[in-house]
């Protein structure tokens, strides 16, 4: 009986305490009257940073400790008090922590942050003070090392990208050939590796350059969070031995033999013409990007051998070719405007030969006549030859000769 009444009492007390608890909560939840003078935050009102930089904002708080009791929340919000970006809970166990607001990098732009306290049952105090952050573009570019390379020899390019507060970067390489063609090499499709060294990410790029890669622009692109991109471009220097180009040739121009030799190499490969015995000749050379153009001129009459040699060399090697001589009729025989001039030596030669034949036959005839007194065949031959020569004008003569050599 006594025991029963005791348990009923306990039950009643429990119900009462539950009721009291809920009613007290409802009391707390009604908005407290807060005095702005009791709250203050001391911090800078603006700061600047570069994209991706860590931002630390130290601050001191003043608030009524009797009203704001643990557990309470220290909250940073961005622009709008509903947009919380950093929440720190202070409870009895873990009291005051360091008062520093940390931002792990922001992209370029202008930002505004505010601070509020939350405690008890939905109690909030929003500090009127605001923090403005001006974020400028990232100026730290990756560092790319590219030493002069030699054609066909393995080389390595390195790119060190800064590690930003906002996180690691993803690096890729971009090639822009001298002709403007661009390709992107991602880590997964090219042989390059990453590792960290003193806070920087290092990407190595292995390649075996070709002569063609000279003057290629290679760009190391580092991409960070929030689309922060930074890059550095270097221009490759690839050394290669001389190579004589196809445009090299010799032509006979009037009384001159003109030979052109074009060679490409890096460093520039000077051209020499080994004609030690000649005294009368001239050489004109010009050069542009990695190409040397040398023109050698000599009197065609001095040209005795059937070959003209051109030699080009630089520190990496030597190239030499025997330049073929374009047939003189090939060049001028087909070109109408230059026909007459060009063929004058031919005509002279032909009429000289004909005269020679005539003279010879005259001598022979005279000799035969003198010896055998056989007149008739010789006289006819003589007249015919003369007739054809007399009739033939220089131009007409040419028309009969020109097509023959082809
Ligand atoms: C916070 O208070 C400390 C000591 O009272 C002071 O040295 C510091 O400058 C204050 N910091 C700010 C951001 O006001
Ligand atoms: C407490 O806050 C929550 C969420 O913000 C809201 O839904 C609720 O109505 C608030 N209660 C009181 C009593 O203000
Ligand atoms: C950067 O981006 C990665 C992947 O998107 C994410 O996991 C990481 O948390 C981000 N870092 C920061 C500091 O925002
Ligand atoms: C390579 O880079 C240089 C300087 O950065 C620039 O002047 C040149 O136009 C670039 N060439 C190509 C093909 O993009
Ligand atoms: C020269 O021409 C030949 C045939 O026309 C070609 O096979 C060769 O590759 C050319 N060489 C160069 C250096 O252009
Ligand atoms: C080489 O030089 C000659 C004479 O200076 C010029 O006519 C020719 O076009 C040049 N050739 C090249 C490929 O530069
Ligand atoms: C002609 O060729 C011979 C042997 O190939 C050489 O010894 C001589 O010097 C050459 N003459 C000229 C004028 O180049
Ligand atoms: C020049 O022409 C002659 C006869 O037409 C020919 O036999 C010779 O092969 C030609 N030479 C060259 C280098 O074209």
Domain boundaries, given as residue ranges, for the chain: 36-136, 143-236, 241-331
Mean pLDDT of the chain: 75
The Cα 231–Cα 170 span in angstroms is 11
Q: Which atom number of ligand 4 is nearest to the Cα of residue 177?
A: 13
C-alpha distance from residue 92 to each of 25, 70, 72 (Å) = 19, 6, 10
Q: Which residues line ligand 3 (CB under 6 A)?
A: 104-105, 166-167, 225
Which atom in ligand 6 lies closest to the alpha carbon of residue 284? 5
CATH T-level assignment (fold) for domain 143-236? Immunoglobulin-like (2.60.40)
Distance (angstroms) between ligand 5 centre and the Cα of 209 equals 21
260 near 249, Cβ under 8 Å? yes
Specify the DSSP element, H or E, that contains 155: strand 155-162
Alpha-carbon span 298 to 232, nearest angstrom: 52
CB 186 within 8 A of CB 175: no
Q: Where are the beta strands (DSSP E) in 177-326?
A: 182-185, 192-197, 200-207, 217-223, 229-235, 238-244, 249-253, 256-266, 271-272, 282-288, 291-299, 308-314, 317-323
Output the CA 12–ligand 5 centroid distance in Å: 108
Hey, whose CA ends up nearest to atom 10 of ligand 7? 305
With 0-12 / 13-18 / 19 or more C-beta atoms within 10 angstroms meaning exposed / middle / buried, residue 213 is buried
- Rounded distance from Cα 293 to ligand 6 centre (Å): 6
Asked if 296 and 274 touch (Cβ cutoff 8 Å), the reply is no
Which residue has the least CA distance to atom 5 on ligand 7? Answer: 305
Write the class of the CATH domain 241-331: mainly beta
pLDDT band at residue 10 under the 50/70/90 scheme: low
Distance of alpha carbon 139 from alpha carbon 231, whole angstroms: 10
Token digits of residue 117: 């306290």
Burial of 105 (0-12, 13-18, 19+ CB in 10 A): buried
* Alpha carbon distance 364, 376 (integer Å): 14
Beta bridge partners of 161: 201
Binned at pLDDT 50, 70 and 90, residue 150 comes out as very high
The first and second tokens of residue 96, run together, are: 């005051």
Model confidence over 18-53: pLDDT tens digits? 554 555 545 557 777 888 899 999 999 999 999 999
Residue 216 neighbours by CB under 8 Å, 6+ apart: 175, 176, 177, 178, 235, 236, 238
The two three-digit tokens of residue 300, written as one number = 């065609």
Residue 318 has pLDDT above 90, yes or no: yes
- At residue 317, the 3 state secondary structure works out as strand
pLDDT over 70 for what percent of the chain?
65
Q: Which two tokens stand for residue 371?
A: 């010896």
The secondary element (H helix, E strand) that includes residue 76 is strand 72-78
Both tokens assigned to 183: 């390709």
Tokens of 55: 């931002």
Dihedral class, residue 405 (left if φ above 0, else alpha if ψ from -120 to 50, else beta): alpha
Taking only the tens place, the pLDDT of each residue in 100-143 is 999 999 999 999 999 999 998 889 999 999 999 999 999 999 99
Ligand 4: which atom is nearest the Cα of residue 216? 13
Cα atoms in the 13 Å half-sphere on the side-chain side of 144: 22
The pTM is what? 0.62
CA within 13 Å, CB half, 64: 12
Please give the structure tokens belonging to residue 1: 């009986």
Provide CATH code, domain 36-136. 2.60.40.10
Least confident residue range of 81-95, 209-223, 277-291: 277-291
b (16+ CB within 10 A) / e for 324-350 = ebeebbeebbeeeeebeebbeebbeeb
pLDDT, one tens digit per residue, over 205-222 is: 888 888 888 988 999 998
Atom of ligand 5 nearest to the CA of 244: 13
- Top pLDDT among 275 and 377 is at 275
Ligand at shortest distance from the CA of 404:
8
Res. 357 pLDDT band, cuts 50 70 90: low
Compute the distance from residue 40 Cα to the ligand 2 centre, in Å: 25
Provide mean pLDDT across the span 287-314.
Answer: 83
- 251 forms bridges with which residues in the sheet? 258
Burial class (CB in 10 A: 0-12, 13-18, 19+), 30: exposed
Other Cβ atoms within 10 Å of 51 Cβ, number: 24
DSSP states along 343-359: HHHHHHHHHHHHHHHHH
Look at the alpha carbons of 182, 187, 192, 195 in this order and tell me if their dihedral is positive or negative: positive
Cα 168 to ligand 3 centre (Å): 8
CA angle at 363 for the pair 358 and 365, rounded to the nearest 5° = 90
């Amino acid at each position: 009986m006594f025991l029963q009444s005791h348990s009923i009492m306990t039950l009643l007390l429990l119900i009462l305490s539950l009721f009291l608890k809920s009613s007290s909560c409802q009391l707390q939840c009604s908005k407290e009257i807060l005095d702005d003078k009791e709250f203050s935050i001391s911090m800078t009102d603006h700061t600047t940073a570069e994209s991706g930089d860590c931002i630390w904002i130290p601050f001191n708080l003043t608030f009524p400790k009797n009203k704001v009791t643990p557990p309470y929340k220290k909250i940073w919000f961005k622009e709008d008090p509903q947009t919380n970006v950093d929440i720190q809970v202070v409870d009895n166990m873990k009291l005051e922590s360091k008062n520093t607001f940390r931002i792990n990098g922001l992209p370029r732009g202008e930002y505004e942050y505010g601070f509020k306290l939350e405690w008890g049952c939905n109690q909030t105090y929003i500090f009127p003070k605001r923090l403005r952050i001006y974020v400028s573009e990232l100026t730290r570019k990756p560092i790319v090392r590219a030493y002069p390379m030699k054609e066909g020899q393995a080389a390595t390019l390195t790119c060190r990208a800064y590690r930003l507060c906002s996180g690691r970067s993803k690096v890729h390489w971009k090639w822009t050939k001298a002709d403007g063609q661009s390709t992107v090499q991602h880590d997964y499709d090219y042989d390059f590796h990453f590792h960290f060294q003193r806070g920087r990410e290092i990407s190595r790029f292995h390649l075996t350059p070709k002569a063609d890669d000279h003057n290629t622009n290679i760009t190391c692109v580092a991409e960070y969070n929030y689309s922060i991109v930074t890059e550095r471009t270097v221009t490759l220097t690839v050394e290669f031995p001389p190579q004589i180009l196809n445009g090299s040739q010799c032509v006979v121009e009037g009384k001159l033999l003109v030979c052109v030799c074009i060679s490409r190499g890096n460093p520039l490969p000077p051209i020499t013409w080994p004609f030690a015995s000649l005294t009368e000749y001239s050489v004109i050379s010009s050069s542009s990007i990695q190409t040397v153009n040398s023109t050698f001129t000599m009197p065609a009459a001095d040209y005795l051998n059937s070959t003209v040699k051109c030699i080009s060399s630089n520190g990496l090697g030597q190239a030499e070719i025997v330049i073929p001589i374009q047939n003189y009729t090939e060049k001028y025989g087909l070109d109408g405007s230059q026909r007459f001039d060009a063929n004058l030596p031919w005509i002279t030669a032909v009429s000289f030969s004909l005269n020679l034949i005539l003279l010879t036959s005259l001598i022979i005839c005279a000799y035969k006549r003198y010896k055998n007194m056989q007149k008739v065949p010789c006289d006819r031959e003589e007249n015919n030859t003369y007739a054809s020569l007399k009739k033939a004008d220089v131009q007409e003569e040419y028309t009969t000769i020109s097509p023959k050599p082809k």
